[in-house]
Structure 1
């Protein structure tokens, strides 16, 4: 009898405590002590068929700011641009700390920019941004590099043409183009047909890593994976090491030569990110921030953010253009007019003169919206967001996938309609695939340049037709990030 009373008292206390916590947070599904909303989350994922559909359902049911309890921790999702801007831009410093999944922390070992906070993250981000500026990202120097890689890929396409037509998997074309750009920036080495296998080794390792990670891996403690799923844990760690070692092979070799006195870096002649990083080591010696393991982690972090997201957006974009040939033709006519009927390549300086192409790329990014689940920030003190109280200790994020399908912001959100941004020019700023605030994507400037130059110049050079079926069905609807479609298309030389 006493035992039953104790259990009843404990349960009553947990329920009251949970109710008190819920009252200090935005609305959401009824949560239970300890397990939170896990049963509902599983049901919603099953019934809606994807992470994005689940988040959109919750937004419609509970408003643009809603709370989900993942176990005992509340996660506050913001699916409204104005509130997200208020929280993460106007109060950027308060939300600079990201929650990092226990597995990510173990994989990254508190190094790099993807899974760190505090002084190390600030130092690595500051160094990377300064290095990219010095290397000309967003300027003429980087435009030349992007166009050089695009020209090389187009030469391969033209060489393989039969009667003016080349059939290619979009992933093969864009992976190698974007991968070569980012690799030349990071380690000064580009990819072509002669060393394509090296690129494929890195890319295949990255693909395996993306396919392995699930929301489950990102929420449970590492010891759970080690104890109950040891093979899965070992596989994840193995794939991560393979990715890092392949991507940073050139940096490893150069570091060994630097230590042996066989390689000296001229600060007035920096070739790539690795040179800049090793120069810092050469000048100041190794420390907790600048060392070879930190460099290798930075390279794979930048590889992931600079290659995967841009490639997926390009593939998604051409899939949409093939589904909507009238949009493709209208964008082509605009680009032809600006370049005097294709007598010169499209340049970054043309951006202000191509409103329809800009709108088309914006709509492509809105639909692609790579992250199904955005990275969480830590709320360190009680505050209000969009009129709702948010207690300290909660995780908060601008849930980009839900924001980009929010039909109160984007009318008929499921429709692919670049004209929406012509009708309302200010609407384009609410497409935020690179995030907001201090944790926004490091490679935003490079990615925007790549998307504009690649989309625009390919439309100048080729007509495109689908080779096989087209689809917008998600490849991995339950993963934390979208995977590109298996798109095969025909390049028809203009």
Structure 2
């Protein structure tokens, strides 16, 4: 009798539980009908199961083919809307400029950046910090001799470093990264460092660890289970420690600049920011303070070092893969410039083929898996779909750069995408490696100058070859938040005996 009662109790529980689960499922299914299509949402993990064991270059391309140009992936309890292809990205980033202008404030990002700086701040703070960044970059001489001179100095150091290899196989990874990071130091701190400097090497290592963590499996766990991960050991602890190293380095430089503040005219970002803080000290709405300054410097290192260094690594890999293109660039350099003439950014107007090749490198070897996510500021209706306030908006910039509706040979490295029939350089609407709209990259012009001056100086000094016995280099990237080339070695053979 007692067993029968227990059995009836269990059956009664199931009879009440099953309808509730079915009702909950139907309610979730019905509410999701208004949303863009996407992978089925499972408890806890949402729709990330659709990614499979690991992300690939084609993961989002396959999803767009299945679900359309606007689709939704639930990341745990967070809805993320992916915009795929030029038309969808343009509609989201330009037509919904204000609606999608915010950055997501996820648990891990909130604990690290605390809504400061330029990249992950919002509202009044973001508007002031971004305005300062844009104005100050102009003051520091973007497109003028001041900034270009610093890039040229670093290019000379890079040439000297490559020359020491005496034509033997070497990896360009470390020297290229050092030079790009030193450029950020020059812009932020007004000084450059020896590549053997202990603090400089520690800074580069901290940047590397921080970037490798972004978008990793453990990063995902920190966003989905922040309360649990806070108490568990793992790579996230090392990443947080590395981020604090960068912030501490920046604070130390701020203190050094405060001591020397009145000794010279503003020469770098910290100088200009301290001056702005002084001008705004009586403004109660001002967000100009040391915490935001330090975070802005952090943003500059994270956003500017790895992206530009990776683009340069891809550039050299492609030069040895396509020696005919390398030779054509060198002929253009030799025609336009004399061997002792410094190369200014303005020379790109006389070098359409070189300019086109750099654009095609940025297109075919886009360094990010997708654009930095944004967040929906209010409920939005787009293409008949309901996008709720707070949803993440992920512009798939890679899909724009490979959109078959806008590129004649999207999957082929083809500099003629940017040349007309007469060989003149032409711009393309779907060329958006730096993003679009209000959140486009603040450092875009600096990156363009670096890529042009570094690459042309290197190709004027050297011809790059594959090592003996190596037939080709692997162009498949290491898929992470930043798409690095796989480790490789090349030979830098001097073109002139005076190199």
1:189 corresponds, among 188, 191, 200, to 191
Q: 1:306 to 1:39 in 2, by over 3 A?
A: closer
What is the CA-CA distance between 1:169 and the residue it aligns to?
Answer: 2.4
SS of the counterpart of 2:463?
A: strand
Please list the CA deviations of residues 278-324 of structure 1 after superposition, one character each: whole Å capped at 9, or x if unmatched: 22334444987333332222111111112111001110111122111
Q: Is the 8 A contact 2:359 2:415 kept in 1?
A: yes
Please list the CA deviations of residues 339-373 of structure 1 after superposition, one character each: whole Å capped at 9, or x if unmatched: 2x545233222223322222211221122222214
State the match for 1:260 in structure 2.
none
Quote the Cα distance in structure 1 between the aligned partners of 2:357 and 2:383. Answer: 31
State the match for 2:300 in structure 1.
302
State the match for 1:436 in structure 2.
436
User: Counterparts of 1:72-111 in structure 2 under 5 Å?
Assistant: 72-111=77-116
**2:375 paired with 1:370:** no
What is the CA-CA distance between 1:4 and the residue it aligns to?
Answer: 2.2
**2:470 paired with 1:473:** no
What is the CA-CA distance between 1:107 and the residue it aligns to?
Answer: 0.9
Q: Is the 8 A contact 1:332 1:459 kept in 2?
A: yes
Q: Is the 8 A contact 1:252 1:292 kept in 2?
A: no
SS of the counterpart of 2:58?
A: helix
What is the CA-CA distance between 1:380 and the residue it aligns to?
Answer: 3.3
Q: Is the 8 A contact 2:84 2:396 kept in 1?
A: yes
Larger mean CA deviation between 356-365 and 291-300 belongs to 291-300
Quote the Cα distance in structure 2 between the aligned partners of 1:319 and 1:108. Answer: 35
State the match for 2:330 in structure 1.
332
State the match for 2:137 in structure 1.
132
State the match for 1:37 in structure 2.
47
SS of the counterpart of 1:430?
A: coil
**2:244 paired with 1:241:** yes
How many residue pairs get aligned? The number is 474
Quote the Cα distance in structure 2 between the aligned partners of 1:277 and 1:378. Answer: 28
Q: Is the 8 A contact 1:79 1:403 kept in 2?
A: yes
**2:491 paired with 1:493:** no
SS of the counterpart of 2:429?
A: helix
Q: 1:377 to 1:21 in 2, by over 3 A?
A: farther
What is the CA-CA distance between 1:456 and the residue it aligns to?
Answer: 1.9
Quote the Cα distance in structure 2 between the aligned partners of 1:409 and 1:375. Answer: 22
CA RMSD in angstroms comes to: 2.7
SS of the counterpart of 1:492?
A: strand
State the match for 1:319 in structure 2.
317
Q: 1:73 to 1:21 in 2, by over 3 A?
A: farther
State the match for 1:226 in structure 2.
230
Q: Is the 8 A contact 2:83 2:92 kept in 1?
A: no
Q: Is the 8 A contact 2:475 2:485 kept in 1?
A: no
Quote the Cα distance in structure 2 between the aligned partners of 1:26 and 1:331. Answer: 46
State the match for 1:463 in structure 2.
463
SS of the counterpart of 2:173?
A: helix
2:266 corresponds, among 266, 270, 285, to 270
User: Counterparts of 1:416-427 in structure 2 under 5 Å?
Assistant: 416-422=413-419
What is the CA-CA distance between 1:481 and the residue it aligns to?
Answer: 2.3
Please list the CA deviations of residues 425-463 of structure 1 after superposition, one character each: whole Å capped at 9, or x if unmatched: 767331212111111111011001111111122222211
Q: 1:78 to 1:492 in 2, by over 3 A?
A: same
Quote the Cα distance in structure 2 between the aligned partners of 1:143 and 1:60. Answer: 43
State the match for 1:205 in structure 2.
206
**2:178 paired with 1:176:** yes
Please list the CA deviations of residues 138-169 of structure 1 after superposition, one character each: whole Å capped at 9, or x if unmatched: 322211221122123323444x254xx36542
Which structure has the greater CA radius of gyration? Answer: 2
What's the TM-score once normalised by structure 2's chain length? 0.87
What is the CA-CA distance between 1:29 and the residue it aligns to?
Answer: 2.9
What's the TM-score once normalised by structure 1's chain length? 0.87
Give structure 1 regions of 4+ aligned residues with deviation exceeding 6 angstroms. Answer: 424-427
Q: Is the 8 A contact 1:362 1:428 kept in 2?
A: no
Structure 1: gaps spanning 5 or more residues: 258-262
State the match for 2:5 in structure 1.
none
Structure 2: gaps spanning 5 or more residues: 1-10
